[in-house]
């Protein structure tokens, strides 16, 4: 069985400068173009992760706030068999984001919320050298994301019930700002 994992995210505050370089205030991918050309989102970004297993295997999908939050998001399936549930982070986490994790626009409004790993780059927040759920528990900062969006992953070893499964779904529907 082969699997293909894909990440999806939405960028905000995008524009093109006088030289033609495209960039975004949140979740930019640093390509300088609308197309990311294989680059991932620069955190913080609300991510949808979908792992599609070929030959009608069981697909896995989730919402991850492990690298932070920029927009509410949901993902559901059309068709398929098994659980095939909808997962959502429909709350604006930016409204509950502590000052130390906030990313602000020029006007001072909060446009994204960094994870503690991104903000502090410390092993206890990034699970560096702490490779198990026992040695890398949730922190007060990761719990901010979990309280706002209980169905989303909020840290590296978050509850495995946040992983959704479906077999043979022909389509996945991703909605930003549900």
* pLDDT tens track, the chain, 178 positions: 445 679 999 999 999 999 999 999 999 999 999 999 999 999 999 999 999 887 667 899 999 999 999 999 999 999 899 889 999 999 999 999 999 999 999 999 999 999 999 999 988 888 887 678 888 889 999 999 999 999 999 988 887 788 999 998 889 999 999 9
Q: Which two tokens stand for residue 67?
A: 């690298």
Q: Is the domain covering 3-176 a CATH 2.20.140.10 domain? A: no
Among candidate residues 101, 37, 96, the one with its CA nearest the CA of residue 68: 101
User: Which positions ≥6 away from 130 have C-beta within 8 Å?
Assistant: 123, 124, 136
Query: 0.75 cut: is pTM over it?
Result: yes
62 CB neighbour count, 10 Å cutoff: 20
């Amino acid at each position: 069985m082969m699997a293909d994992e894909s990440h999806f995210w939405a960028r905000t505050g995008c524009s093109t400068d006088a030289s033609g370089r495209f960039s975004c205030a949140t979740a930019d991918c640093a390509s300088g173009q609308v197309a990311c050309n294989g680059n991932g989102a620069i955190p913080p970004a609300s991510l949808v992760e979908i792992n599609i297993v070929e030959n009608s295997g069981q697909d896995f999908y989730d919402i991850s706030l492990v690298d932070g939050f920029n927009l509410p998001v949901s993902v559901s399936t059309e068709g398929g068999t098994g659980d095939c549930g909808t997962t959502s982070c429909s709350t604006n986490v930016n409204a509950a984001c502590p000052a130390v994790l906030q990313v602000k626009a020029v006007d001072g409004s909060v446009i994204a919320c960094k994870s503690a790993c991104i903000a502090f780059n410390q092993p206890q927040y990034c699970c560096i050298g702490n490779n198990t759920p026992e040695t890398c528990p949730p922190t007060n900062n990761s719990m901010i994301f979990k309280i706002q969006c209980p169905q989303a992953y909020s840290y590296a070893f978050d509850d495995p019930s946040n992983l959704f499964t479906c077999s043979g779904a022909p389509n996945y529907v991703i909605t930003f700002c549900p």
